[in-house]
Structure 1
Amino acid sequence: MSFSTRHLDRARAESFGAAAEDYDRYRPTYPADLMDDLARLRASEVLDVGCGTGKAAAALSARGLSVFGIEPDHRMAQVARRRGIKVETTTFETWNPRGRRFDLLVSADAWHWVNPAEGAGKAARVLVPGGHIARFWSFHVLDGPILEDLGRIYAEHAPGVEVGGARQKSTAGVRDPLSAGDDFVSVAQREYRWSLTLNGDEWIGLISTFSDHHRMDPQSRSVLFAKIRGLIDGRGGTVRTTSGTFLQLARRV
């Protein structure tokens, strides 16, 4: 299933709650530079669509913004509430804003789970004119020849699962789909880069939060993770990633 139609797989979209605590523990926080850039938009009211465990919402709240979250899974929402984030448990498509309007809508690693046609229209309705919508996604690419060995492990033990740490497609020249309509104009597309050094348990903890991994049969997943851990241990005990977050920012006209 392509990225643009992934919202149709509702079982996958709503599966993250089964790993809510691991998601909160192992998913990295978002880049401070990204959060600072969003805070500079001077939004007084922020809507976080698919807020998950509240990582982005908490970072924006710490910068003085008032953030309200929408999250379809009650287990993820519960973790966000522990951070002090106000969350309504629902999907964006079915959420009733009750006349509320926002200056900024953010969606961190979640907008691809929203129906694109319904999501664009609803975003336009809940944003004030001149408000912004920021959608961003993180990626983690493993450095070096370890990817070849991982590819063989996945081919043997998880042939239908995307290799964790595989190289990402370039975001250069990617067109913001919201700019195709009449309600939004693209403002910026940026990448924020960093790197991670993780031991075997930390890497497995991270990939265990990926939906195709945590939906595997438990026995098959256990075998896959054991093979990956053995590979990492045999290569010095750590892996290094080239990581980043890709931002698409548009303004409500």
Structure 2
Amino acid sequence: MTKNYCGAAARAAMLLGVSHAFGAVAEAYHRWRTAIPYAAFDWMVPQPCRRVVELGAGTGIQTRRLTVFADEVLAVEPDPKMRAVCQVDGAKLLVGTAEDIPVEDGGADLVVALDSWHWFAQPEATNEAARVLRPGGTLAVAWNLPELADDWTVEFWRSVTAAHDETRRPGRLMLGVDAPFATPQYRVMRWTSRRSADDFVALLGTYSQVIAMDPLERGEFLDRQRELLPIDPDGMVDARFTTVCWRIVHMGA
């Protein structure tokens, strides 16, 4: 676990602006991004779970699975273009951010951030999660990450994995100083995705580093990356992924 003590408003605004880039490709994001495995939800979500607050809900990819595990799901998302795609039966969509959660004090059994915690300013997000959790509630954080198992995966995902500095790298849990939480628990799950080569290239195009390229540069980049894929005769590619999960119990005031 690493702790990040940067809580400046300017930092929060910058991170929010970068994360809003996903709105430009909201439909593609929803189509190509992969949900966290159900086994991870089994491990992260306490039972019974009356109310869960999801931070950075995006287009609802993870939200839909959360509705299986909780009586009430509050999906918090700042980007209007992402919210427009996030239509999930059984979930209530709220306008807000991880640094300013529109939920009352002690109103949640679980606060969860899936593929999103690295975008949030600290310690603001940690403090807000602590505020809305009941004592004994759980903060859960998880990411789906490409497994860099061989040369082609390292090269294919290089633009994504090299983009974040060590203190904000996806998979690393960042908490604000003196956060009222118990010792974090950690679990890793590995799985394989079999998709067409075109689908893998489309998935790569939904990452912020690629979205930020100008259209010509992005097209040329994705063409080059496609050449790296070990395509089977049937046009399919097998790639391994890792889901990194954290859960932390709120200790109360």
TM-score tier, shorter chain, comes to 0.7 to 0.9
Q: What is the alpha-carbon root mean square deviation over aligned residues? A: 3.0
2:246 aligns with 248
Q: 1-side partners of 2:195 and 2:51: how far apart? A: 36
Structure 2 matches for 1:147-226, cutoff 5 A? 147=153, 150=156, 161-162=159-160, 176-178=173-175, 181-226=178-223
SS in 1 for 2:123: helix
Conserved in 2, the CA contact under 8 Å of 1:12 and 1:212?
A: no
Code of the aligned partner of 2:215: P
Code of the aligned partner of 2:242: G
Residue 11 (1) aligns with residue 9 (2): no
Q: 1-side partners of 2:92 and 2:47: how far apart? A: 21
Q: 1-side partners of 2:36 and 2:122: how far apart? A: 24
Q: 2-side partners of 1:176 and 1:185: how far apart? A: 13
SS in 2 for 1:202: helix
Code of the aligned partner of 1:89: V
Q: 1-side partners of 2:154 and 2:180: how far apart? A: 44
1:158 aligns with none
Residues 215-234 of structure 1 deviation map (CA, whole Å, 9 limit, x = unaligned): 11110111111222344377
Q: 2-side partners of 1:219 and 1:208: how far apart? A: 13
Residue 228 (1) aligns with residue 228 (2): no
Q: 2-side partners of 1:129 and 1:217: how far apart? A: 47
Structure 2 matches for 1:116-127, cutoff 5 A? 116-127=122-133
The runs of 5 or more residues in structure 1 that have no matched partner are 155-160
Comparing 35-44 with 12-21, greater Cα deviation is found at 35-44
Conserved in 2, the CA contact under 8 Å of 1:17 and 1:76?
A: yes
Conserved in 2, the CA contact under 8 Å of 1:46 and 1:103?
A: yes
Q: 2-side partners of 1:128 and 1:201: how far apart? A: 45
1:157 aligns with none
1:23 aligns with 29
2:107 to 79, 90, 101: 101
Conserved in 2, the CA contact under 8 Å of 1:102 and 1:128?
A: yes
Residue 91 (1) aligns with residue 97 (2): yes
Offset of residue 78 of structure 1:
2.0
Q: What TM-score does the superposition give when structure 1 sets the normalisation length?
A: 0.81
Conserved in 2, the CA contact under 8 Å of 1:102 and 1:127?
A: yes
Offset of residue 53 of structure 1:
1.3
Q: 2-side partners of 1:57 and 1:183: how far apart? A: 26
Q: 2-side partners of 1:137 and 1:212: how far apart? A: 17
Change in CA separation of 1:175 and 1:219 when aligned onto 2, cut-off 3 Å: closer
* Number of residue pairs matched by the alignment: 236
Conserved in 2, the CA contact under 8 Å of 1:70 and 1:91?
A: yes
Q: Percent identity?
A: 28
Conserved in 2, the CA contact under 8 Å of 1:57 and 1:69?
A: yes
2:141 to 109, 130, 135: 135
